[in-house]
A and B are shown apart, each in its own frame.
Chain A
């Protein structure tokens, strides 16, 4: 079975002190800690490219697993802020910088916060359809490239990070078919205009709160699972306040919703794998629901479950 085998992350060492930044925007420490949920926002170095972040995440993955470079058949990079102007695709640059085989397939996926869930399924299906064995799914979308430091709505929220997920044969974790939702009418609510990120926080909040609970219930119903059958709910870490509202829609299991973004902020498509890494490496959990929402506007939710040994 092709499924999820391992995850590694890369978080840049430099960071913005968000408490200090909050003061600049006349926000209290309590607001930053409890509502935004992040006291630190990692920032890539100025000269560090999206491909460099991807290479670092892949290096960390190779260091923690027995995966050999020559055995990697496919590379997918989820990003909307790739190297340069986005042409060529960042995955090709990462292939070269990482010394990955030239016989491999490499392509980018242009998605935001729902991109990790899409990426899991796309890469799994791609490997199966191509008769390949091992692929790496990278997420690297450094919003610091497009943030206006004077814009409170985005400056207090986003951090830079990357992840690398090994998808391959004989995996410990099965990836179930996801459910999706797209509403392009909302696209202007989270987009880049003239090189600057623009976000209508209220509309993104509304989109998430109206759609994510329904999507979670949809996939649980499809799989004949109760809310209690899920050990952990890992939703995209949009903001602590938003996650708090979403978790309260499921009062019986609200304590299973993971809210942990204090030292990363909203890292776009990397927020789910950052939390998932810890979860799949620990022995406890058997079924984990992962759901992303944001740019598009778009949502995608799936469940990953540990294979019984």
Chain B
């Protein structure tokens, strides 16, 4: 299981130009100014933490922090 706090930590580690601690969890990454390259980096941080790959075909389903948590926890 992954927590929202872990996701925030991963976003912080990715170096994305956003305050990971205060970013809303239900607003789409794109609306928060995170582009596809930011998302690649965030997903990679998560993959390293989990030791598990998020398949390319699932990427488009994951648009918010909450959906990322739900995806990972549902997939485990």
Contact = CB atoms under 8 A, between A and B. Distances in A.
B44 A205 contact: yes
Interface residues of B, number: 13
Contacts of B36: 201-202
B15 A200 contact: no
Interface string A241-278: 11011001000000000000000000000000000000
A155 interface: no
Contacts of B48: 210
Contact of A200 (B35, B37, B44, B56): B56
Contacts of A210: 44, 48
B15 A248 contact: yes
A146 interface: no
Contacts of B47: 206
B18 to A, nearest CB: 15
Interface in A12-39: 31, 35
Interface in B35-55: 35-37, 40-41, 43-44, 47-48
Given A245-B15, A248-B15, A205 B37 contact: yes
A209 B35 contact: no
Given A245-B15, A248-B15, A202 B35 contact: no
Contacts of B35: 31, 35
22 contacts: A35-B35, A35-B37, A200-B56, A201-B36, A201-B40, A202-B36, A202-B40, A202-B43, A203-B56, A205-B37, A205-B44, A206-B47, A209-B41, A209-B44, A210-B44, A210-B48, A239-B37, A241-B37, A242-B37, A244-B15, A245-B14, A245-B15
